[in-house]
Amino acid sequence: MKSWTWNTDQGLFQINVIGPRRVNLLFDNTIIGSYPTPEQAADDCGTGHHAPISEAFDGGSLGVSVSLKDWPVEPKLKH
């Protein structure tokens, strides 16, 4: 399964495929959203439309791209 990552000064965002038509958005290994597509997860992360992380910042304020094609792909192995 695939995983996309976006590293920031405050921590790591990840989009992980967890099944057919389902991905989780994580910040430092904590789920902050669940979406039908990785593209929607990237868009919500980049615009700050996700579960609260901190009062001080969100994905949008940290410069996270709304476009999944900008996120580095990390191959994920099945266990």
Task: Indicate if the pLDDT at residue 10 is higher than 50.
Answer: yes
Q: What value, to the nearest 5°, has the Cα angle with vertex 73 and ends 22 and 6?
A: 90
pTM of the predicted model as reported, rounded to 2 decimal places: 0.87
For the chain, the domain total comes to: 1
What is the β-pairing status of strands 73-75 and 12-19?
A: unpaired
**For 33-76, what is each residue's pLDDT tens digit?**
999 999 999 999 999 888 888 777 888 889 999 999 999 998 76
Closest by CA position to 24, among listed 48, 2, 46:
2
Which range of residues forms the domain containing residue 9?
Answer: 2-75
